[in-house]
């Protein structure tokens, strides 16, 4: 699910389609990528999981299906197309989102975004809207990004990221000229 769904919760309950409830345990969360991994014991209930798809082969124009619990209406299914496959919506450098016009509303967060093969290619996470409702601008964390983070959350309870101890400056026209560079491409390590 998404981190913002469970953030600050004292108790987490997972409710199945048949209204069976399970108390869930938080294995780990990553606020920067807005992901969280929960675990619960299904006891004698047999569960079938959905399968991951490859978000790297998704293309603009592909059909998508979003399933979730928008506004408390569980099992709601909406359909749309992919508008962008690496959209930056200003949430930081950790995730570039799949943008879809499948209706995503409050309560869809953490739900799957499927391709037409029924494979999960994203985790529905955010919308952009002036009214707070869906206007066709929905965003999902790509499955390939999510899988890497989820594995770390399960293994370590947190995400481990590399850190490069440098300060970068954009190569401006002045910097390019002073260094004798042929163009303004790249980055300059200033510290």
CA dihedral 6, 7, 10, 11 (to 10 degrees): 10
69 with 50: CB under 8 angstroms? no
CA angle (93, 94, 97) in 5-degree steps: 95
Q: What is the pLDDT of residue 125?
A: 95
Bridge partners, residue 93, by sequence: none
Q: What is the pLDDT of residue 161?
A: 87
- Close Cβ partners of 109 (under 8 Å, ≥ 6 residues apart): 1, 2, 4, 5, 68, 124, 125, 126
Q: What is the pLDDT of residue 188?
A: 86
Q: What is the pLDDT of residue 87?
A: 92
Q: What is the pLDDT of residue 93?
A: 75
Q: Catalytic residue positions? A: 4, 34, 109
Q: Where are the beta strands (DSSP E) in the chain?
A: 12-15, 21-30, 35-39, 63-68, 76-87, 97-100, 112-114, 120-127, 138-142, 168-170, 187-189
Q: What is the pLDDT of residue 3?
A: 97
Q: What is the pLDDT of residue 22?
A: 96
CA distance 107 to 98: 18
Strand 97-100 relative to strand 35-39, pairing: unpaired
Q: What is the pLDDT of residue 90?
A: 82
Bridge partners, residue 25, by sequence: 39
CA distance 115 to 64: 5
174: helix, coil or strand? helix
> Over the chain (191 residues), what is each successive 10-residue block's mean pLDDT?
96 91 96 96 93 97 96 93 93 87 94 97 94 92 97 94 87 90 88 89
Strand 76-87 relative to strand 21-30, pairing: unpaired
């Amino acid at each position: 699910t998404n981190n913002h769904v469970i953030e600050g919760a004292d108790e987490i309950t997972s409710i199945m389609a048949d209204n069976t409830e399970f108390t869930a345990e938080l294995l780990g969360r990553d606020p920067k990528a807005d992901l969280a991994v929960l675990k619960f014991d299904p006891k004698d209930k047999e569960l079938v999981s959905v399968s991951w798809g490859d978000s790297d082969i998704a293309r603009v124009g592909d059909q998508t299906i979003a399933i979730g619990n928008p506004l408390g209406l569980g099992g709601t299914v909406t359909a749309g197309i992919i508008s962008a496959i690496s959209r930056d919506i200003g949430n930081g450098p950790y995730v570039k989102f799949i943008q879809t016009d499948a209706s995503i509303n409050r309560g869809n967060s953490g739900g799957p975004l499927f391709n037409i093969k029924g494979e999960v290619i994203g985790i529905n996470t955010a919308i952009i809207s002036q009214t707070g409702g869906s206007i066709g601008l929905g965003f999902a964390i790509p499955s390939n990004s999510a899988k890497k983070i989820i594995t770390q959350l399960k293994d370590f309870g947190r995400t481990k990221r590399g850190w490069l101890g440098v300060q970068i400056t954009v190569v401006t026209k002045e910097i390019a000229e002073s260094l004798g560079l042929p163009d303004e491409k790249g980055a300059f390590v200033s510290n």
